[in-house]
């Protein structure tokens, strides 16, 4: 029946699909060598030239300061990128969650500091099993019960585990500075199966303050109580070989913090709309220390009302609800909304030309970390060509 | 050195971890039979009793109306759940994206209507390859160029493909009603390798209008132009065997729409905070037609300031930024913020008791679709026990 119908078809339509045996691409690796504009969208892309520039820029800027780089992999969740960061001179990487740390250590990234805490028996055990297999694993703690449980687990598994104490810089994570922090550090130091290596102090709220001078003033003030507690720890004879913190917004202002050892930059590799607008040392309006390498390709799927709205196939499942919204490259007057799960809605303003259904737009993402966490692969782009496919093996590893 | 350190350790700490060889659970299937409270968090759970009740409730309510159920799998992206929906009496399922439709058809779900459009040559080819393998695949179109390309691809691949025309109910997707829609339907009908099956009309904006009467008035008004165009199509001798639309918010008001055939409910299986507050036919304040079966388990990881804030391990990577925020079951006074990527911040109000680090909270999710899309598996819970592990094979399939 279908076949008869087909034979009746005639040749009324153009021969756009001339070769009946042509196969559609389905495996990510099959895209290598093709133009990025052919990718099926939404597609997560990284410009490799820009990525490589960002990878070295942070080391170049910190050269001579004595401050090292310990990139945070929560941003990219990709062991291949973590290995590139190690090769570029990182002292190790940070991971937020246990399953993220496991993914890194089991995929050729030897030095992982877990900045988040594990508080349940199951996770503490898994962390110590990870330590048994991978001597480069360092675990953060921020309370006494957890430190005692960690000691028990380390002893049960026959390891001496490296530990850092996470300090409370703002009310979210960490042990309060002063006596509570000092006591916790001393408890860890005295625990026979734990080795106290130092402290973490992440100042989250300062990262996105606009203006370099304002940001610097704020973060130095926020870190002052940590510095004071660190001095008490040193006076108490504790080992402070690690004093890790900062992020992409504050990486270049830590030489004002006594004893500080390394920056936990994450977004510097990719950049995003949130970081672009904070301004830097060289330009107070646009943060230019790093180039926006990460983009999403989206296809226009509806243009019924082209002077008002263009609709794309990239909504909140492709770009998240983070603000500020995605920026359409080449069209500064376009306002992108990813409020719909499956659709992007662009309010058209000052278009440089007319757009039609089927055309592909490239956007800078609102906030890189949660956007990357939506995709299984990241396409590595050189020029306009797909050069590599980077599996995001830590995607969804929020446990 | 580690070993010597260990031997010096003595027995100062309690024997919480008595068995050195105990293994941490890591494969999802290993949790089957255990209590859900032991799961590593954040964990996505579905209460199977409630799920099964929701699964049949929609059919019970629509019995005798002549309206069928064509559930939308964009909500759960899980072939196992789609098979349950088919078994419960669905006429087929809907998928939003091509890769989602592929995942369903290749995993035992025989009837899939793709409500989104494919507009590029690559995807149109893939869609027709899918049709060649799976006769139950139906494709939506909403413009003439795409319909012509689809005809070419169908001819090239030797199939006669089932097609529905998506109608514009609001400015996002679909062909404008009236002449443009009629012309497109006639073009499809005349295309030798396409078979016109009917129309789609999804009224997104009405789904979350509060109050059953207001919602019904609004959606009937929004659909009136579609109904008129449908009558023109019938008068023109077109086949209107499908007139699909509606959602969880409007599924029970479609008998007022002439010719309407089936509802595309998705969220009814899970519910979420967004749908709970729209009210239903029986209760204008709380939507009680379906039970909230979907939850996320989150662990308290910091309680430094227990009268103000509790911090959990479930932030925007576990719960999205959708509003209204997650609801903590059993603590109506708690305000949950998932603004941080990795951390949930609960503003404590009217706590029924004191909470400590390590305790697990259960929350109803803000908006089910994008939350499910963050997880690889859904734990099926009966009572408090893990009964099954449902792989979310369509997770991230936004292409």
* Predicted local confidence at residue B27, as pLDDT: 86
Which residues, 6 or more positions from A203, have their beta carbon under 8 angstroms from its beta carbon?
A169, A170, A219, A222, A223, A245, A246, A247, A250
- Residue A253 pLDDT level (bands cut at 50, 70, 90): very high
> Is B7's Cβ below 8 Å from some Cβ in A?
no
Q: Which of B172, B319, B323, B344 is the mutation pick for testing A, counting most A CBs within 10 A?
A: B172
Q: Are A290 and A54 in contact (CB under 8 A)?
A: yes
Same domain for A323 and A179: no
Contact A317 B119 (CB under 8 A): no
> Is A320's Cβ below 8 Å from some Cβ in B?
yes
Same domain for A309 and A231: no
Smallest CA–CA distance, residue A142 to chain B, in Å, is 8
B125, B161, B359 from A7: Cα distances, Å: 20, 14, 67
> Which domain does B305 fall in, by range?
33-46+289-391
> Is B87's Cβ below 8 Å from some Cβ in A?
no
Q: Which of B21, B24, B152, B189 is the mutation pick for testing A, counting most A CBs within 10 A?
A: B24
Chain A residues with beta carbon closer than 8 angstroms to that of B15: 152
Domain CATH number, residue A304: 2.40.37.20
Q: Are B53 and B61 in contact (CB under 8 A)?
A: no
A76, B241, B393 from B377: Cα distances, Å: 21, 36, 8
Q: Is residue B282 part of a domain?
A: no
Out of B149, B305, B398, the one facing A318 most closely (by C-beta) is: B398
> Which burial class, exposed, middle or buried, applies to B333 when counting CB atoms under 10 A from its CB (0-12, 13-18, 19+)?
exposed
Same domain for B335 and B216: no
Smallest CA–CA distance, residue A208 to chain B, in Å, is 13
Contact A370 B156 (CB under 8 A): no
Q: Which of A121, A158, A398, A399 is the mutation pick for testing B, counting most B CBs within 10 A?
A: A398
Contact A16 B149 (CB under 8 A): yes
Q: Is residue A336 part of a domain?
A: yes
A385, A392, B5, B82, B260 from B117: Cα distances, Å: 26, 28, 64, 21, 21
Q: Is residue A347 part of a domain?
A: yes
Distance of alpha carbon B264 from its chain centroid, rounded? Answer: 11
Smallest CA–CA distance, residue A178 to chain B, in Å, is 14
Contact A123 B40 (CB under 8 A): yes
Q: Which tops the pLDDT comparison, B40 or A11?
A: B40
Q: How far apart are the C-alpha atoms of B116 and A152, rounded to whole Å?
A: 54
- Residue A26 pLDDT level (bands cut at 50, 70, 90): low
Chain A residues with beta carbon closer than 8 angstroms to that of B264: none
DSSP calls for B287-341? --SS---EEEEEEEEE-SSTTTEEEES--HHHH-S-SSPPEETT-TT-EEE--SS
Which residues, 6 or more positions from A269, have their beta carbon under 8 angstroms from its beta carbon?
A51, A54, A55, A71, A75, A76, A81, A85, A290, A293, A294
Smallest CA–CA distance, residue B90 to chain A, in Å, is 23
Which residues, 6 or more positions from B90, have their beta carbon under 8 angstroms from its beta carbon?
B68, B69, B70, B71
Beta bridge partners of A295: A45, A364
Contact B129 A369 (CB under 8 A): no
Among A237, A271, A305, give the residue marking a domain's end.
A271
Domain CATH number, residue A112: 3.20.20.10
Q: Is residue A281 part of a domain?
A: no
Smallest CA–CA distance, residue B370 to chain A, in Å, is 6
Q: Which of B130, B342, B379 is the mutation pick for testing A, counting most A CBs within 10 A?
A: B342
Same domain for A311 and A357: yes
DSSP B176: P
Which is it for the CA torsion A147, A152, A154, A155, positive or negative? positive
> Is B331's Cβ below 8 Å from some Cβ in A?
no
Out of A14, A120, A316, the one facing B299 most closely (by C-beta) is: A120
> Is B299's Cβ below 8 Å from some Cβ in A?
yes
Q: Is residue B83 part of a domain?
A: yes
Q: Is the pLDDT of residue A83 over 90?
A: yes
Among B238, B270, B302, give the residue marking a domain's end.
B270
- Region at B346 (left for phi over 0; alpha for psi -120 to 50; beta for the rest): beta
> Is A203's Cβ below 8 Å from some Cβ in B?
no
Smallest CA–CA distance, residue A63 to chain B, in Å, is 31
Token pair listed for A192: 């026979």
Q: Is residue B362 part of a domain?
A: yes
Report the residue count for chain B: 399
Chain B residues with beta carbon closer than 8 angstroms to that of A343: 172-173
Smallest CA–CA distance, residue B91 to chain A, in Å, is 22
Same domain for A144 and A54: yes
- Cα nearest neighbour of A345 on chain B: B172
Contact A9 B192 (CB under 8 A): yes
Chain B residues with beta carbon closer than 8 angstroms to that of A149: 16
Among A227, A245, A271, give the residue marking a domain's end.
A271
Which residues, 6 or more positions from A22, have their beta carbon under 8 angstroms from its beta carbon?
B125, B156
Contact B119 A300 (CB under 8 A): yes
From first to last of the 399 residues of chain B, give the pLDDT tens digit.
333 333 333 333 334 454 334 445 568 999 999 999 999 999 999 999 999 999 999 999 999 999 999 999 999 999 999 999 999 999 999 999 999 999 999 999 999 999 999 999 999 999 999 999 999 999 999 999 999 999 999 999 999 999 999 999 999 999 999 999 999 999 999 999 999 999 999 999 999 999 999 999 999 999 999 999 999 999 999 999 999 999 999 999 999 999 999 999 999 999 999 999 999 999 999 999 999 999 999 999 999 999 999 999 999 999 999 999 999 999 999 999 999 999 999 999 889 999 999 999 999 999 999 999 999 999 999 999 999 999 999 999 999
Q: Are A171 and A142 in contact (CB under 8 A)?
A: no
- Cα nearest neighbour of A376 on chain B: B396
Interchain CB contacts (distance < 8 Å): A and B? 265
Contact A2 B159 (CB under 8 A): yes
Chain B residues with beta carbon closer than 8 angstroms to that of A43: 399
Helices A179-190 + A212-235 axis angle, to 10? 50
Q: Report the domain count for chain A.
A: 2
Beta bridge partners of A112: A93, A137
Contact B343 A304 (CB under 8 A): no
Same domain for A151 and A300: no
* Predicted local confidence at residue B3, as pLDDT: 35
Same domain for A204 and A104: yes
Q: Are A399 and B42 in contact (CB under 8 A)?
A: yes
Report the residue count for chain A: 399
Chain B residues with beta carbon closer than 8 angstroms to that of A157: 17, 20
Smallest CA–CA distance, residue B107 to chain A, in Å, is 16
> Is B64's Cβ below 8 Å from some Cβ in A?
no
Same domain for B313 and B233: no
* Predicted local confidence at residue B8, as pLDDT: 33
Contact A321 B321 (CB under 8 A): yes
> Is A299's Cβ below 8 Å from some Cβ in B?
yes
Q: Is residue B397 part of a domain?
A: no
Q: Is residue A6 part of a domain?
A: no
Interface of B with A in 20-49 (CB under 8 A): 20, 22-26, 38, 40-43
Chain B residues with beta carbon closer than 8 angstroms to that of A318: 398
The total of other beta-carbon atoms located within 10 Å of residue A360's CB is 17
Interface of B with A in 214-273 (CB under 8 A): none
Out of B193, B317, B398, the one facing A373 most closely (by C-beta) is: B317
Q: Which of B34, B97, B358 is the mutation pick for testing A, counting most A CBs within 10 A?
A: B358
Same domain for B260 and B304: no
Same domain for A195 and A129: yes
> Is B94's Cβ below 8 Å from some Cβ in A?
no
Same domain for A259 and A151: yes
pLDDT digits (tens, 9 = 90+) for A300-327: 999 999 999 999 999 999 999 999 999 9
- Residue A75 pLDDT level (bands cut at 50, 70, 90): very high
Contact A320 B317 (CB under 8 A): no
Same domain for B384 and B238: no
* Predicted local confidence at residue A27, as pLDDT: 86
């Amino acid at each position: 029946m279908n076949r008869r119908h087909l034979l009746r078809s005639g040749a009324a339509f153009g021969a756009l699909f001339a070769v009946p045996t042509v196969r559609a691409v389905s495996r990510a690796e099959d895209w290598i060598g093709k133009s990025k504009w052919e990718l099926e969208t939404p597609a997560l892309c990284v410009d490799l030239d820009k990525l490589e520039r960002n990878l070295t820029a942070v080391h170049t800027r910190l050269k001579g300061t004595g401050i090292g780089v310990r990139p945070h992999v929560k941003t990219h969740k990709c062991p291949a990128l973590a290995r590139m960061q190690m090769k570029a001179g990182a002292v190790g990487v940070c991971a937020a969650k246990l399953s993220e740390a496991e993914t890194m250590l089991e995929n050729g990234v030897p030095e992982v500091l877990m900045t988040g805490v594990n508080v349940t028996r199951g996770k503490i055990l898994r962390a110590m099993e990870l330590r048994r297999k991978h001597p480069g694993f360092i675990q953060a703690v921020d309370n006494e019960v957890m430190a005692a449980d960690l000691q028990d687990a380390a002893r049960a598994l026959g390891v001496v585990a490296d530990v850092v104490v996470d300090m409370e810089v703002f009310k979210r994570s960490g042990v309060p500075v002063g006596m509570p922090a000092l006591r916790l550090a001393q408890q860890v130091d005295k625990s026979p199966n734990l080795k106290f290596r130092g402290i973490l102090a992440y100042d989250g709220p300062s990262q996105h303050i606009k203006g370099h001078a304002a940001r610097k003033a704020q973060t130095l003030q926020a870190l002052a109580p940590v510095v004071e507690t660190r001095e008490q720890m040193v006076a108490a004879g504790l080992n402070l070989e690690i004093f890790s913190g900062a992020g992409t917004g504050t990486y270049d202002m830590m030489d004002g913090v006594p004893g500080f050892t390394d920056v936990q930059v994450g977004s510097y590799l990719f950049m995003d709309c949130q970081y672009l607008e904070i301004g830097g040392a060289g330009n107070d309006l646009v943060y230019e220390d790093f180039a926006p390498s990460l983009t999403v390709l989206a296809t226009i799927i509806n243009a019924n009302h082209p002077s008002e709205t263009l609709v794309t196939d990239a909504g909140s499942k492709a770009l998240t609800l983070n603000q500020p919204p995605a920026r359409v490259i080449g069209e500064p007057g376009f306002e992108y909304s990813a409020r719909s799960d499956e659709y992007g809605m662009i309010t058209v303003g000052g278009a440089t030309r007319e757009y039609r259904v089927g055309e592909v737009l490239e956007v800078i993402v609102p906030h890189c970390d949660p956007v990357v966490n939506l995709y299984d692969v990241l396409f590595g782009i050189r020029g306009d060509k797909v050069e590599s496919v980077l599996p995001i093996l830590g995607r969804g590893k929020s446990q």
